[in-house]
Structure 1
Amino acid sequence: MLLDLAKLTLNLTPDSLALRLVDALASRTQRPPLDQVQRDAINQAQPLRYGTLASHTAWCWGEGPLVLLVHGWNGRAAQMAPLASHIAEQGYRAVALDITGHGDSPGARTQWQFFRSDLLQLLRALEQDIHTLIGHSAGALAMMAARYTGEVEASRYACICAPSHPFPPIEVIRRKLAPRPAVIQRYQALIAEQLGASWDDMQAGAFYRGLSEKTLLIYDQDDRIVSHQEGDKLSGLMPTAQLLKTQGYGHTRILTAAEVKAALTEFVSA
């Protein structure tokens, strides 16, 4: 009923108002429940407050060089917690944050710009150089955008199910709301502004250019949200990057895969 009403409204309103409606609907977030493995891993962590008035939450495991983990859209730090706990056991300080509108951080909505700004606010609170950045899906894309704009720098980058550019939300909006092409173009421009590059540059893979063998790309062949062929595309831009493909996990369960844990451990420690 809500989607039908939204479709009708989009067809009857000017492009500027239609854009506001699309953005309002697309920015709503959901918080997935924790399973027992995630809960156990989070319980091992030390909560860390960051952001304006210390309103946001991150989780810290261990001591040593900093490994920062960024969840995806509609994800939460707890999804990265088992990986973070395992990495900390190898002698690292692993930190996973809840972005605005996710996990234990405030808000019922989020924006692409929050992924960038929250990451920067956390880094100011940590006061430590980044050894490795690990991101999942939208979190990976946003952290690479922050690298592209010069806001973030790490020795190593690991991208799990990372889209080359922010096409997944566009596909969802087209499928569910069917807005006019002009509204889609405006929404693409809005996302591009928040991520710090033009849509054409993002589509060409600008966020991933200029990286070397200190980059790990991980995709699952059964992912229905971000195709594993995105890994092939990005490998073409970074011929020396490592590419790992799994099978049978999909977009989120890949974070629990034993081969992913092993690959990340080797990559971080190499």
Structure 2
Amino acid sequence: MSSKIYFNTKGRVNLRRRAINVATRAYHRIAPSHARKTARNLLLTPERYSANTQAPEGLQQKVIESSEGSIMTYSLGSGPTWLLGHGWSGSASQFYTLMERIAASGFTALAFDNPAHGASEGRHGHLPGFVKGLDAVLEQAVEDLAGVVAHSMGCTMMLESKHAKLAGVPMLLVAPILNYKDNLYRVVEGSGFSLRLFQDVIRAVEQQYQYPIDRVDSHQRLAGHQGHIVIVHDTGDRFALFEQSKKANALPGVSLIETSGLGHNRILKSESLLRAFDALSNQQTPETY
């Protein structure tokens, strides 16, 4: 259900959205505690990504433990590691095409399912949990980090982590959400869901993890990162706003590759992304992309 909320970006007023707004506001007013519990399950339970994607030959799976439960990791190849992080309602399998390219280039491609996603444990997903899962993978499964690749909310996760192993490494950000709070409120409001009830859910997560949403500032993180960052973003992306990536392109050390007609997810299997990895992993300058 949550994906139908978060990925509904049509933005037009309709009877269904009005009905959701009236129903959730009334529920919150009549039974606030029960409404908050129900809303937490509805809003923070991602759909488990399922696609008939053939796993690359030689792919190895390993479970690591984190404060968010067991995390499933997937590795391919050998050599220094490129770490890959997916977004909301995604999974490591979305990276299989890129993982094969990474392995063929003399690196280890290491992807993982975020908490409550794929084959990892957990029911509720959120940014603080994503960051804790990422830090556990970095701590337990990565020795020689060559760079990172992330998609959608996974980009926010990578930028938010303060793990020492991420300092100065190249980053390849695909369809990043660089206005995390505004984007979150935009899509929830567009669904018709009660914003006051949504705010109650957010406050509960903030208090549990001591992680205020207002502190999330991806543009500031981009500006402070010492390694080269390449953003690959489709101009027609309806979920992650392309204008935010264009704004980030003005920052020192950030390069933007624009695509067209690929949307938010198909871009992960695009030739543009594969070429961007080739260039970044070979430490080529932005002018060569």
Distance change in 2, residues 1:204/1:85 (3 Å): closer
Distance change in 2, residues 1:20/1:164 (3 Å): farther
The 8 Å contact of residues 7 and 177 in structure 1, kept in 2 or not, is answered as no
Counterpart of 1:171? Answer: 186
Higher mean C-alpha deviation, range 48-57 or range 118-127: 48-57
Matched to 2:120, the amino acid is S
SS in 2 for 1:39: coil
Give distance in 1, aligned partners of 2:258 and 2:209: 27
Q: Quote how far apart the aligned CAs of 1:160 are.
A: 0.8
User: Is 1:81 paired with 2:96?
Assistant: yes
Q: Which has the higher contact order (CA 8 A, sep 6+)?
A: 2
Distance change in 2, residues 1:26/1:207 (3 Å): farther
Q: Quote how far apart the aligned CAs of 1:115 are.
A: 1.0
Counterpart of 1:8? Answer: 26
Counterpart of 1:29? Answer: 46
Encode CA deviations 1:67-99: one digit per residue, 9 max, x unaligned.
Answer: 000001100000012101111110001100011
Counterpart of 1:242? Answer: 255
The 8 Å contact of residues 71 and 119 in structure 2, kept in 1 or not, is answered as yes
Distance change in 2, residues 1:195/1:156 (3 Å): farther
SS in 2 for 1:232: helix
Q: 1:44 aligns with which of 58, 78, 89?
A: 58
Q: Quote how far apart the aligned CAs of 1:112 are.
A: 1.4
Give distance in 2, aligned partners of 1:204 and 1:76: 22
Counterpart of 2:265? Answer: 252
The 8 Å contact of residues 85 and 92 in structure 2, kept in 1 or not, is answered as yes
Counterpart of 2:114? Answer: 99
Relative to the length of structure 2, the TM-score reads 0.79
SS in 1 for 2:245: helix
SS in 2 for 1:110: coil
Distance change in 2, residues 1:104/1:241 (3 Å): same
Matched to 1:207, the amino acid is R
Q: Which runs of 5+ in 2 are unaligned?
A: 1-15, 284-289
Q: Quote how far apart the aligned CAs of 1:58 are.
A: 0.8
User: Is 1:161 paired with 2:175?
Assistant: yes
Superposed, which structure 2 residues align to 1:66-145 within 5 Å? 66-145=81-160
Give distance in 2, aligned partners of 1:250 and 1:195: 33
The 8 Å contact of residues 67 and 130 in structure 1, kept in 2 or not, is answered as yes
CA-based RMSD of the aligned residues comes to: 3.0
Q: 2:235 aligns with which of 221, 238, 245?
A: 221
Counterpart of 1:206? Answer: 220
Q: Which runs of 5+ in 1 are unaligned?
A: none
The 8 Å contact of residues 212 and 241 in structure 1, kept in 2 or not, is answered as no
Counterpart of 2:9? Answer: none
Q: Quote how far apart the aligned CAs of 1:263 are.
A: 0.9
Q: Quote how far apart the aligned CAs of 1:152 are.
A: 3.9
Q: Percent identity?
A: 21
SS in 1 for 2:117: coil
The 8 Å contact of residues 134 and 157 in structure 1, kept in 2 or not, is answered as yes
Q: Quote how far apart the aligned CAs of 1:142 are.
A: 0.7
Distance change in 2, residues 1:132/1:194 (3 Å): farther
Relative to the length of structure 1, the TM-score reads 0.84
Counterpart of 1:61? Answer: 76
